[in-house]
Structure 1
Amino acid sequence: MTPHNYSIELIWTGNTGSGTTSYRGFSRDHEVAATGPELILGSSDPAFRGDASRWNPEQLYIASIAQCHMLWYLHLATRAGVVVTDYVDRPTGVMVEEATGAGQFESVTLHPTVTIAAGSDPSVAEELHERVGDYCFIARSINTPIRHEVVVHVR
């Protein structure tokens, strides 16, 4: 087993002068940074007093699932002899909030539209999406059910 370590820096930038003296008295704005990539400006979902122009954790959660899925899919396609020429996904997620304010994702649905080269098998291209969950580090680390609504085009 090979360990891989990851680190980021999370900086709250939302102190408007009085810290967290009241729920409405501070901003949810923050920055997510790591050595190398550009800074991510984050906030909470607007439903939770956040800034809609910034990424929220729920969007980043869905993005990480979709990214991992795509990267493993492309790997598996290569190994299966499926030539992918285009891949677009518009993932969605449903989070349920309880009366206490706690919540969780009920589901995430990936909507990949994959274009494959003529001569590649569309049924294999579609079936590979079901196998990704056996490999994707993110999918294997969470409890949220992940569904796939796949469209395959042959070019």
Structure 2
Amino acid sequence: MAEKLHHYQVALEWQGNLGVGTRDYRSYAREFTVNGAAGKTLNGSADPAFLGKETCWNPEELLLASISACHQLWYLHLCADAGLCVVKYSDNPVATMDEKSGKFISAELRPAVTLTPEGDPALAQSLHELAHSKCYIANSLAFDISIKGSVSNTPA
């Protein structure tokens, strides 16, 4: 079977020249824009701990959002294949980065799933592990990602 490769491209542009460039660590802003296909724009900056702008997405948040979104998309796909009808899905993931080592050391997904009344919560819960094993983003990372999800049914 031939390989099926997916290619991605974005354009990142630094917006933080305050008139003197990177003359010193505090002489420039960390803001940037990322432009993708179909005119999508994302406003980014560094983590505020590194002089970034709090109202912009930082790379660390984007990494965590990517993990969460990839898991969610696989999970919904697997639920549909299994005949489980998900009517609500939310996640409030957290991650920890060790500044000294310069690496993320862990992430925890906390998906909350609501099924229709006839949905099987045990099956729905078990599909998180399979979704995690299929997630392209999680498979590309070198730190532990745990899943502590909850599943409930809507009232009959």
- Normalised TM-score (structure 2): 0.94
52-61 or 116-125: which moved more? 116-125
Equivalent runs, 1:1-155 vs 2, <5 Å: 1-98=3-100, 102-155=101-154
Query: What is the Cα deviation at residue 83 of structure 1?
Result: 1.2
Q: Deviations over 1:30-76 (max 9, x none)?
A: 00111215311100000000000111000000000000000000011
Return the letter of the residue paired with 2:118.
G
Q: What SS does the corresponding residue of 1:134 show, helix, strand or coil? A: helix
2:57 alignment partner, SS class? coil
Q: Distance in 2 between matches of 1:137 and 1:126?
A: 20
| Alpha-carbon distance, 1:144 to partner | 2.0
Q: Mark the CA change 1:67 to 1:37 in structure 2 (over 3 Å): closer, same or farther.
A: farther
Q: CA RMSD in A?
A: 1.0
What letter matches 2:4 in structure 1? T
- Aligned-residue sequence identity (percent) comes to 41
Unaligned stretches of 5+ residues in structure 1: none
- Report the AA paired with residue 17 of structure 1: G
Query: In structure 1, what is the Cα distance between the partners aligned to 2:90 and 2:132?
Result: 18
DSSP 3-state at the match of 2:46: coil
Three-state SS of the structure 2 residue aligned to 1:25 is coil
Q: Which runs of 4+ in 1 moved over 6 A?
A: none
Q: Distance in 2 between matches of 1:45 and 1:23?
A: 15
Moved more, 65-74 or 113-122: 113-122
CA separation in 1, counterparts of 2:28 and 2:16?
A: 6
Distance verdict in 2 for CA 1:33–1:103, change over 3 Å: same
